[in-house]
Amino acid sequence: MQFQVETKKKMEILDITEQLKRILPEQGEGALLVHIPHTTAAVTINEGADPDVGEDLVRHLERLAQGKYLHREGNGPAHLQASLIGPSVLVPFKGGKLELGTWQRIFFCEFDGPRTRRVQFRLLAGLENDEQ
Ligand code: ZN
């Protein structure tokens, strides 16, 4: 299962928590696996209350990735940034709600946009939901 996101900048952090909440079952518990099938984008969990947190992340990752790259496509920094942040997160859910901390949100991270990107997800059911 998947949905698309449209990014508008070279580097951008997009809050995808609401899209992900919609796919949760109302009953039961388990874990939501979110996976980004791209080599220059990523997913992370961080503070969503202050948008400056995401902006700071972008700015510092930009600075961190400066330097020379062998990769001829020219987007070496974006590959490094994607690996630093990582391609997936696993979040527990229960009773239709993600068990995120008060300030936590799930963010799609674009490092080589603007592009149309895919966000893949799987609901991994808990033991309580297993039919035995
Ligand atoms: Zn590349």
Q: Does any domain span residue 44?
A: yes
Q: Does any domain span residue 34?
A: yes
Q: Does any domain span residue 130?
A: no
CA of 114 to the centre of ligand 1 (A): 14
CA of 32 to the centre of ligand 1 (A): 29
105 neighbors 45 (Cβ within 8 angstroms): yes
Other residues' Cβ atoms within 10 Å of the Cβ of residue 110: 28
Residues 6+ apart with CB under 8 A from 113: 7, 8, 9, 10, 11, 12
Residue 22 sits in which domain range?
A: 2-125
CA of 113 to the centre of ligand 1 (A): 12
**Tokens at 114, concatenated:** 């603007």
Span 105-121, mean pLDDT? 98
CA of 76 to the centre of ligand 1 (A): 6
For the whole model, what pTM was predicted? Answer: 0.92
Q: What is the pLDDT of residues 62-104, one digit of tens each?
A: 999 999 999 999 999 999 999 999 999 999 999 999 999 999 9
Q: Does any domain span residue 131?
A: no
Given a cut of 50, is residue 132 above it in pLDDT? no
CATH number, domain of 62, equals 2.60.120.460
On the question of a cis peptide bond just before residue 114, with omega within 30 degrees of 0, the verdict is: yes
Q: Does any domain span residue 114?
A: yes
Q: Does any domain span residue 15?
A: yes
Q: What is the pLDDT of residues 25-47, one digit of tens each?
A: 999 999 999 999 999 999 999 99
- For the chain, how many structural domains are there in total? 1
